[in-house]
Structures are given as C-alpha cells and as structure tokens.
Amino acid sequence: MTLPIRNVAIIAHVDHGKTTLVDALLKQSGTFREGETVPDCVMDSNDLERERGITILSKNTAVHYKETLINIVDTPGHADFGGEVERVLGMVDGCLLIVDANEGPMPQTRFVLKKALEKGLRPIVFINKIDRVRANPHVAVDKVLDLFLELGADDDQCEFPYLFGSGMAGFAKETLEEEASDMQALFNAILRHVPPPVGDASKPLQLQVTTLDYSDYLGRIVIGKIHNGTIRVGQQAAIVTETGAIVKSKISKLMGFEGLKRIDIEEATAGNLVAVAGFANANIGETITDPNDPQALPLIKVDEPTLRMNFSVNDSPFAGQEGDFVTSRQLRDRLFRELETNVALRIEETDSPDKLAVSGRGELHLGILIETMRREGYEFQVSQPQVIYREVSGQPCEPFETLVLDVPEEAVGGCIERLGQRKGEMQDMQVGTSARTQLEFVIPARGLIGFRGEFMRMTRGAGIMNHSFLDYRPISGEIEMRRNGVLISFEEGVATFYAMQNAEDRGVFFIRPGVKVYRGMVLGEHNRQQDLELNVCKAKQLTNHRASGGEELVQLKEPIDMSLERALEYIGGDELLEVTPKSIRLRKVAKAKKLAKK
C-alpha cells in the first residue's frame, strides 16, 4: 500500500531561518538515530553554503509523520539563485513561507513568494524567531498580508494559515498564548493545508527533470516529480528534449528519498519525488515519458540574466603559476558543464577563442561560480560586470532592482544622497526601533555595481542591504560612478616595507609587504581621481651609519582586504580580475600589456 504524500517547499528571505527549521523537522521526525551527531544546517551540504550561511542549491529530503511521507524541498532565499527556486516549485503542491518576527517580509521574501503565488500555491506562513528580543509577530503577520495583496494573491491565498515559533529552539504553535515544545503544530498544518499531489498512476509516464546530479558510477542522475504514471527499474522510457526530439533509454536505477539519504526503490507512482539514472544527456525542464505515448510537460521558464562579464584565459605575468586548469579548453569545458545544472546561466562565444561571455542573475550568482571554480583549481581572469540591456516595445530598456536598506539613523542622509546620484528613487521610509531606519528604493541594476563597499563605509559596517530584480524599464541616463584612481606597480618583484611606507601617503593599499607584484598590477586606491604608478619593490640602501630613531617600531596602515565580492564591485572598465586558487589580483588591461613590452 502506498503512503499518502505531501510535497512542500520551504521559501524565505536569506537568513530568516529556512535551513534551521528543516533541521528541527528532521530531528523531531526521528530521521536521526538517538545519540547521532548532527551538524547545524545539515541541508547546506557544500562548503560555500556553510561558510556564507546561505542556501545556494535547492535540496530535497523526506520525513514520515503520522503514516504520511512529507517531501521537503529547501530552496535558496537569494534572488540571484532564482533559477533554483523556479524549477523546484514545480515539484511541490504547497509551500511554507518563513518570515522573521522582527524584520518582517524582505526583498527576497517578495521574490520567492511571487513565484509561489504565480504557481497557484497556497502558502502556510511561519513567523520565526519569536523568542528574539524586539520580535513583533502580529505586526509581521500584518505585513505579510499587505505583501500578499500587493502581489495580487487571490482570496484563497490571502486566507493563509499562520503559525508562530522558533526553528532554533524547535517549537511551533498556532497562537502566541499556548505552550509548545515541539514542531507538532507545523507538521499538522502541513497535513491539513498542503493538498496531496494531483496525478494519475494509470496514465502514461510523465516525469519532469528539475535537478541534475552526477555519480562516477551511474553517470548523470535526474531528479524530479512524477506527474503521471508509474516508473520502474529496468523500464523502457523516452525523454522529450527541448527541441522536441524523442530519445529512448532504459531506467537503470531508481531512488527515493529517506531523510538525507537516497534509497534504492523498485517502483514509484504519480506524486513521488525520485532520482533516476539512465539518461546521459537529460537537461533541466525536459520530460521523461512513455516511449509508446510520449507526452511532454511545458518547459520550465526561468527569468533571464541581468549581468554579463567576460571569462578569459589568464595572460598576466604570473599566469599558470598557481592553478591546475589554465587552458582555454579547460575553462570552456568547465563553464559549459556548469550550464547543465545552472539553468539561470548563459554562455556566449566572443570574437576571441580564449574569451567567453558569461551572463548571470547578479554579482552574487556570478561570484559563487567564480569562487567554486577557483576552489576546483581553475585559474582565469574576468572583466567588470556589465548590465544586459534589452529592447521592450521598440524602446531600449535596462534592468531595475528593488533595494531595501536597514541603516543606523546617522547614515540615512548619506545613503539617500548617494543613491540619488546613482538614479535611485526612494519609495518608502520607515523609522524603526533602536534608532534604525528602513529605506526602500527602485534603482537601475548598474547603479548598484560597486555600491555595497560604499554602503558599508557609510554605515560603518552596521547597515543591512538587500535587493531583488524588479523589471526592465527605459534607460535612466548617465550615472555618476565616482571612484578614485588606483595605485599601479611599474616594477615586477616583491613589495618591500620600506617602499610601501614611503608611498603610504598616496593612498590605501590592497597588499602587504612580501607580496609578489608585477607591472600593471593594481596595488591600492589613490587619494586622487587619477591613477598613479609606483615602485613598491624598492629596497632601503644599507650603509654603515646608524640612523637616528632607527630603533623605533613603525607600522603600516592596515590594507583593504580585497575579497572576491569586493573586487568584483570595485573593478573598473579598463581593469581585469585575475583569479587563481591562491590569489585574487586586480590589474590594468592596457597598462600591463604596454609595460610588458618595454
């Protein structure tokens, strides 16, 4: 006898507690044996997710509750990974929207909720972190209702059920007054409000591919929901490709989900989420179906990219010294392999065989790809991110974003002034508790390039900044992108303390003494608008005379730590970012080539 099924996605803004809540559901459903060591955020399986505390890739798990199999899909909360959100929402029949009791709905809440409402899903709202100081659960519920109305939810969707609780403390309850020590109220709400999957096991097979995985033993593994029919191990099946071609194959292995593991199964029917091996060339959105009666499901539509940058072979003087994969063929193969699983990414050829144009949903989306590749041993260079313009109704348009800032009171004026210079239009301003203010803007995507670093300086690191794609609008004109000039090395060698100390009054450095530099490499930011060439390799001339005050301890100012994200925001149009497994270096394009010829 087949168990009743509920398929539910967990959606929320970044850092509102999705993955922590899944931890609590897994622990209380008996997924882990008694005494088993369970890490926090067990669903964040790769290193980058654990380090950054965000979900990048959607993942699914399954728990049993009251003789019902509940398939849970943990989705990313950041709009840059919207490709992940859009494709997995087709696998589920309901969703759990998590909202922070203090912050209320945020930009990415709007993004993921809009996608869920468009799919016709009726969300269950979970007001999380009610045990925090300054939590205001009832105000959060009112804000969620306002957001539902704003996004055009129908009457049924606006009558959403809501619960209160804490994923970290592991409890959920229907009212604030009642006592609760477990997640039983949330499990019951899922059984009550998430409809069972619609599908007919007697119809021809239809399984839509929503996620791809790879195994050294099985090859490509496709994961998706069975919309109709039954699938068995050894069964003959066919896949309907994007072009409409029908390619026959055989189901070599079939797996279901049990907790965090995949388990071998012999058969699965409509409504189940399964992993299938046997389709070496399957792609996202395609349909596995009955070869005798092939019926394709509609392809998954993903929002188009808004930012583009060039990936090319590293041609700096230090090329090939730190990476394992440095050739154009290796770079090309890796990028096209990424296309197989990253549906929001686009790759285009350029006029140079050593350069590819890569388009993504935002700086974070492209930054995660760059960071992943450098950790795998790839060495390459990238250009400044550029927004992608489009023609809408015969008029040139550019992408606009909704930007929400949470800033200390003293930084409000500076933020409004700076965003005004970047063509931002303020939509809302709310003075909150603890002398903080929330500002909402609509701003061109290009106006945000390089803004995060400025924002952190203006708010002294105390500001919170979130943004999500809004739509394409007519181009808003020239944006004043003020940035000081840079300090450039005109000598190759090792940076010395003596030379850097003498040049310290010229600006702020990105490097420390002892770092190897080359001609054309960007060493720091100049105090003035123009660029300045420096020799930071000059050593102090030794004499047999003892200098007065020579024993005094002299220290350099702390350099700016150029992380990958900061470098991507900082880079200029005439500069490149050199990325290797060990280093991140900024360099001038023309300057490096001109100096290298001397």
Length of the chain counted residue by residue: 598
Residues of each annotated binding site for GTP: 15-20, 128-131
Supply the pLDDT for residue 128: 87
- Pick among 3.90.110.10, 2.40.30.10, 3.40.630.30, 2.40.128.20: CATH of 206-289: 2.40.30.10
Find the mean pLDDT for residues 170-178.
86
CA distances for 449 relative to 293, 307, 398, angstroms: 50, 10, 14
- What is the percentage of the chain residues whose pLDDT exceeds 90? 12
- Kindly give the interhelix angle for 184-193 and 18-28, rounded to the nearest 10 degrees: 100
Residue 255 has pLDDT above 90, yes or no: no
Q: Tell me if 27 sits within 8 A of 294, measured CB to CB.
A: no
Read off the pLDDT band of 29 (50, 70, 90). low
Could you tell me if 179 and 190 are in contact, meaning their C-beta atoms sit under 8 angstroms apart? Answer: no
Q: How far apart are the first and last CA of the chain?
A: 79
Helices 137-150 & 107-118, crossing angle to 10 degrees?
A: 50
Specify the range with the lowest mean pLDDT, choosing from 13-27, 430-444, 482-496, 567-581: 13-27
Q: Where are the beta strands (DSSP E) in 13-113?
A: 59-65, 68-74, 94-100
Burial bucket for residue 229 (CB in 10 Å: 0-12, 13-18, 19+): buried
Bridge pairing between strands 516-517 and 273-277:
unpaired
How would you write 327-380 as a 3-class SS string?
Answer: CHHHHHHHHHHHHCCCCCCEEEECCCCCEEEEEECCHHHHHHHHHHHHHCCECE
Token pair of 403 as six digits: 């930007």
Would you say residue 98 has pLDDT above 50?
A: yes
pLDDT for the residue numbered 380? 94
Known binding site: residues?
Answer: 15-20, 128-131
**pLDDT band, very low/low/confident/very high, at 482 (cuts 50, 70, 90):** low
Which range (46-55, 327-336, 391-400, 412-421) has the least confidence? 46-55
pLDDT exceeds 90 at position 178:
no
Choose the weakest-confidence range: 61-65, 460-464, 534-538, 541-545: 541-545
Kindly list the distances between the CA atom of residue 268 and the CA atoms of 2, 226, 265, 587, in Å, as whole numbers in the listed order: 9, 8, 8, 55
Please give the helix or strand (H or E) that residue 118 lies within, else none.
helix 107-118
Q: Which of 16-20, 50-54, 272-276, 364-368 has the highest mean pLDDT?
A: 272-276
In CATH terms, 5-193 corresponds, of 3.10.129.10, 3.40.50.720, 3.40.50.300, 3.40.1000.10, to 3.40.50.300
| Domain residue ranges of the chain, discontinuous segments joined by + | 5-193, 206-289, 303-360+480-543+555-598, 390-474
Average pLDDT value for residue range 399-426: 88
With 60 as the cut, is the pLDDT of residue 124 above it? Answer: yes
Q: Where are the beta strands (DSSP E) in 350-463?
A: 355-360, 380-383, 386-387, 390-392, 395-408, 425-431, 436-444
Least confident of 290-304, 366-380, 385-399: 290-304
Distance CA 427, CA 433 (A): 20
More reliable by pLDDT, 310 or 154:
310
Query: Hey, what are 375's tokens?
Result: 């950790």
- Tokens for 253? 């292995």
**Mean of the per-residue pLDDT values for the chain?**
81
CATH 3.30.70.240 at 390-474, yes or no = yes
**What gap in Å lies between CA 443 and CA 422, rounded to an integer?**
8
Of residues 188, 330, 214, the one with CA closest to residue 282: 214
Q: Which residues pair with 347 in a beta bridge?
A: 358
Confidence grade of residue 53 (pLDDT, cut at 50, 70, 90): very low
State residue 71's pLDDT score.
85
Q: What is the pLDDT of residue 432?
A: 67
Q: Of 65, 81, 61, give the one whose Cα is nearest residue 12.
A: 81
Query: pLDDT at residue 465 above 60?
Result: yes
Average pLDDT for 369-397: 89
Most confident of 119-133, 239-253, 318-332: 318-332
Cβ-contact 191, 25 below 8 angstroms:
no
**Confidence band (pLDDT; 50, 70, 90) for 310?**
very high
Please tell me the distance from the alpha carbon of residue 83 to that of residue 306, in angstroms, as a whole number. 13
pLDDT at 357 over 90: yes
Highest mean pLDDT among 86-95, 243-252, 375-384: 375-384
Query: Looking at 109-113, 458-462, 529-533, 591-595, which range is the least confident one?
Result: 591-595
Answer yes or no: are the C-beta atoms of 522 and 575 closer than 8 Å.
Answer: yes
Question: Given this model, what pLDDT does residue 78 score?
Answer: 46
Cβ 292 vs Cβ 205: under 8 Å: no
Q: Quick one: pLDDT band at residue 598, thresholds 50, 70, 90?
A: very low
* pLDDT bucket at 543, cuts 50 / 70 / 90: low
d(CA 41, CA 18): 9
Q: Dihedral sign, CA of 221, 336, 56, 402?
A: negative
Residues 84-105, mean pLDDT to the nearest whole number: 80
Query: What span, in angstroms and rounded, lies between the C-alpha atoms of 167 and 110?
Result: 21
Asked whether this chain's domains 5-193 and 206-289 adopt the same fold, the reply is no
Q: Which of 95-104, 449-458, 542-551 is predicted with the least confidence, judged by mean pLDDT?
A: 542-551
What is the average per-residue pLDDT within 75-97?
67
| CATH 3.30.70.870, applies to 303-360+480-543+555-598 | yes
Helix (H) or strand (E) holding 271: none
pLDDT of 45 strictly over 70 = no
156 or 329, greater pLDDT: 329
Q: How many helices (H) and strands (E) does the chain have?
A: 15, 35
pLDDT at residue 147 greater than cutoff 70: yes
The pLDDT of residue 320 is above 80: yes
Q: For position 51, what pLDDT does the model report?
A: 45
Q: What is the pLDDT of residue 108?
A: 64
In order, the DSSP letters of 72-89 are EEE---SGGGHHHHHHHG
CA distance 92 to 77: 17
Point out the least confidently predicted range of 40-49, 82-91, 234-243.
40-49
Range in 25-39, 282-296, 315-329, 413-427 the model is least confident about = 25-39
pLDDT score, position 160:
86
pLDDT tier at 14, thresholds 50, 70, 90: low
Measured distance CA(491)–CA(510) in Å, rounded: 16
Question: Is the pLDDT assigned to residue 216 strictly greater than 80?
Answer: no
Between 64 and 597, name the one with better pLDDT.
64
pLDDT at 521: 92
Helix axes 451-458, 412-421, angle to 10 degrees: 160
Indicate the pTM of the whole model. 0.68
CA angle, 407 then 411 then 417, to 5°: 110
pLDDT of amino acid 140? 87
